[in-house]
Amino acid sequence: MEIKDILEKVKSRYDKEKAGDFKGSFSFEIEGGDPKEFTLSIKNDGLEITEKIEDSADCIIKTDLDTFSDIVNGEKSPISEYMKGKLKIKGDLGSALKLNELFFS
């Protein structure tokens, strides 16, 4: 699955009511992806995706394209992939858990 298709699926899962007052940004580095780097930003006015790493992101998540695709498609749990070392998180783990709650659970 291509990154652009995966991101469309992520966008379709965004629920402003579920996000509530939460604001955060999550940068991704996806090995084998095109684009390889992107950032999801949750703001007052909704979800924004940019094709770059934000230095100010709450966390940076690194994985490969297959693992990311499997997580988005519900075939693998982000938590179990983190425990296996296939998903690396630098920064605020609490924000990463919120990302999981909003998009992947």
For the ranges 14-18, 32-36, 87-91, the one whose mean pLDDT is highest: 87-91
The token duo for 80 is 């179990």
Looking at the chain, the number of H-run helices and the number of E-run strands are 5, 5
Identity of residue 71: I
Q: List C-alpha distances in Å: 20 to 38, 64, 76.
A: 23, 30, 26
Q: Spell 39-54 as b/e; 16+ CB within 10 A means b.
A: bbbbeeeebebeeeeb
Q: Give me the mean pLDDT over the 82-88 stretch.
A: 97
Band (pLDDT 50/70/90 cuts) for residue 81 is very high
Residues 35-78: tens digit of each pLDDT? 799 999 999 889 999 999 999 999 999 999 999 999 999 999 99
Q: What pLDDT shows up at residue 45?
A: 83
* Domains, the chain, with CATH or none: 3-104 (3.30.1050.10)
